[in-house]
Amino acid sequence: MTVSRIAHLAVALDTADWGEFRSWCERFGPRAGVLKVGLEAYLRWGPRAAEVALESGAKLFLDLKLHDIPNTVEGATRSAADLGASYLTVHAGGGSVMMESAATAAEGRLSVLAVTLLTHLDRAELARLDLAGEPQERVTSWAALARSAGCAGVVCSALEVGALRARFARPFTLVTPGIRFEAGFESDTADDDQRRVATPEAALADGADLLVVGRPLTRADEPERVLSRLADAATR
Ligand code: C5P
């Protein structure tokens, strides 16, 4: 029986255990459109992590959140494309020229996604950083900057996706972490560190294109049940 790939699912491979990393690639790679390799895995295993993820047939999302001078980010973007990545994150806070350098260096080989405000930054912390104003307004204005700079989309919380989609039509891509299930569903992770959360159905209905799902799937007692729910989420 062939099981179809869930195009809107990016599985976050956040682990320090190589055996676990490989088994997640083997298990989830053939089922998900995208596998996401973040800083933890990349700093531990480097390009080998990217290769193993790609061997599964899924697209590779390098979530390395680049933030450096434009010339450096340009070279790093080329390196990511050469590794076979389809998605790469950069910080919008690096500015328009930096984002433009990434988008230009991508040459259509990969999608550059901008990270606007990290979700742990609340108003008080933003004030300490001399970044006054409403976080939501900053998210929107930095997303606009990212789009003008040629980025393919942004990473945003599940609670921001509706407002951003109302302002930025497709094909601008909205990538959404913080996916959680209602209490009582398999692998209830309600007490974890994610605060701005939504169900997969809500995030997709609000206009997300790609859902980043880590622990609710990788730590699930019954991952198949979670995969079925994620597969059906787009049709509900
Ligand atoms: O395990 P969980 O589903 O919370 O994983 C979410 C993934 O999305 C992690 O890899 C995390 O780094 C990433 N992420 C996030 N919140 C953001 C940006 C990225 O949780 N604001």
For residue 207, the number of C-alpha atoms closer than 13 Å in the C-beta half-sphere is 21
Q: For the chain, which residues score pLDDT lower than 70?
A: 1-2, 187-192, 236
36 three-class SS: strand
| pLDDT tens digits, one per residue of 99-135 | 999 999 999 999 999 999 887 888 888 889 998 888 8
Q: Rounded to a whole number, what is the distance in angstroms from the first to the last CA of the chain?
A: 24
Give the nearest ligand 1 atom to 179 CA: 3
200 in ligand 1 pocket by Cβ < 6 Å? no
207 three-class SS: coil
- Considering only CA atoms, which of 166, 125, 170, 115 is closest in space to residue 145? 115
Cα–Cα distance for residue pair 130/107, rounded to 1 Å: 35
How distant, in Å, are the alpha carbons of 28, 90, 171, 189, 193 from that of 135? 34, 19, 24, 26, 19
pLDDT at residue 148 in the model: 98
Q: Looking at ligand 1, which residue's alpha carbon is closest to its atom 21?
A: 119
pLDDT at residue 16 in the model: 94
Angle at 98 between CA 163 and CA 34, to 5 degrees: 60
pLDDT at residue 94 in the model: 97
| pLDDT tens digits, one per residue of 187-196 | 555 556 777 7
Name the β-bridge partners of 112: 88
